[in-house]
């Protein structure tokens, strides 16, 4: 295991060292200590390495991740795993707003709660939240899956496209064009797999599925005068 102390070295040095692991390396396990809420820890990684951050982080930890597994032993600031392409990011505490924003792929697991706009404009990422999520989550979500074991705040799925939203608890309100949908066998299978990946102790049958009514993104000639 390779260890990196952010109290003794700079964040720039850390990220440069992790980026260098894209070349063939046997330094596949990294341990970061004294993060002290620093921003942009372990961003832009592109190697099948495992990085453990021992403490809470600031903005954009794990952003633009490819291939890597990043474990945050604390809470994460805004934009954790933002624009992630592949790999896994696990937050053992809570996550601030817009967790997993614009994510194209990979898996984001939040073992606590997530704040507002979780999964905003998600484009293929899978997000599993063990706790609750805040308002405007999955706003303009295009594809992927958002799984919430707790409750969801106001305006869930506002203006979403084809992302699938699974919520076990209560939803305070649904956003524009978001409706409850039938939970078919294929959705139960998807959900069962995601819950297993996230180590979540819940049954797929306990969830409701929400998705797009498909009324907002189709041009209707009868409404031409409104444009």
pLDDT (0 to 100) of residue 227: 55
Within 10 angstroms of residue 160's Cβ, the number of other Cβ atoms is 31
Enter the pTM of the model.
0.94
Is pLDDT of 217 > 70?
no
The residue with greater pLDDT, 226 or 176, is 176
Q: Over the stretch 4-17, which tens digit does the pLDDT of each residue have?
A: 999 999 999 999 99
Q: Give CA–CA dist 163/211, Å, rounded.
A: 7
Across all residues in the chain, what is the average pLDDT? 95
| Sheet with 164-167: strands ordered across | 2-5, 29-33, 50-54, 69-72, 88-91, 107-110, 123-129, 143-148, 164-167, 208-212, 178-181
pLDDT (0 to 100) of residue 216: 82
Q: Over the stretch 149-158, which tens digit does the pLDDT of each residue have?
A: 999 999 999 9
- Do 186 and 226 meet the contact criterion of CB atoms below 8 Å apart? no
- Name the band, by pLDDT with cuts 50, 70 and 90, for residue 215: confident
Q: Give CA–CA dist 136/119, Å, rounded.
A: 9
pLDDT (0 to 100) of residue 139: 98
Q: Give CA–CA dist 188/88, Å, rounded.
A: 22
- Do 80 and 98 meet the contact criterion of CB atoms below 8 Å apart? no
How wide is the angle at C-alpha 32 spanned by C-alphas 98 and 146, nearest 5°? 25
Q: Where are the domains of the chain?
A: 37-47+54-214
Is pLDDT of 116 > 70?
yes
């Amino acid at each position: 295991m390779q260890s990196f102390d952010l109290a003794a070295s700079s964040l720039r040095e850390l990220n440069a060292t992790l980026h260098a692991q894209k070349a063939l390396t046997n330094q596949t396990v990294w341990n970061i200590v004294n993060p002290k809420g620093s921003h942009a820890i372990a961003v832009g990684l592109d190697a099948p390495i495992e990085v453990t951050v021992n403490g809470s982080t600031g903005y954009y930890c794990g952003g633009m991740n490819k291939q890597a597994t990043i474990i945050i032993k604390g809470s994460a600031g805004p934009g954790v795993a933002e624009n992630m392409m592949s790999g896994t990011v696990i937050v053992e505490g809570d996550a601030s707003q817009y967790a997993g924003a614009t994510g194209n792929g990979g898996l984001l697991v939040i073992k606590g709660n997530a704040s507002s706009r979780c999964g905003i404009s998600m484009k293929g990422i899978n997000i599993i939240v063990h706790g609750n999520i805040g308002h405007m989550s999955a706003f303009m979500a295009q594809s992927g899956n958002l799984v919430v074991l707790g409750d969801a705040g106001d305006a869930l799925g506002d203006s979403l496209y084809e992302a699938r939203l699974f919520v076990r608890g209560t939803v305070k309100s649904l956003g524009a064009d978001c409706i409850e949908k039938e939970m078919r066998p294929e959705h139960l299978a998807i959900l069962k797999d995601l819950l297993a990946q996230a180590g979540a102790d819940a049954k797929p049958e306990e969830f409701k599925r929400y998705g797009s009514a498909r009324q907002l993104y189709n041009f209707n000639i009868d409404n031409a005068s409104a444009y």
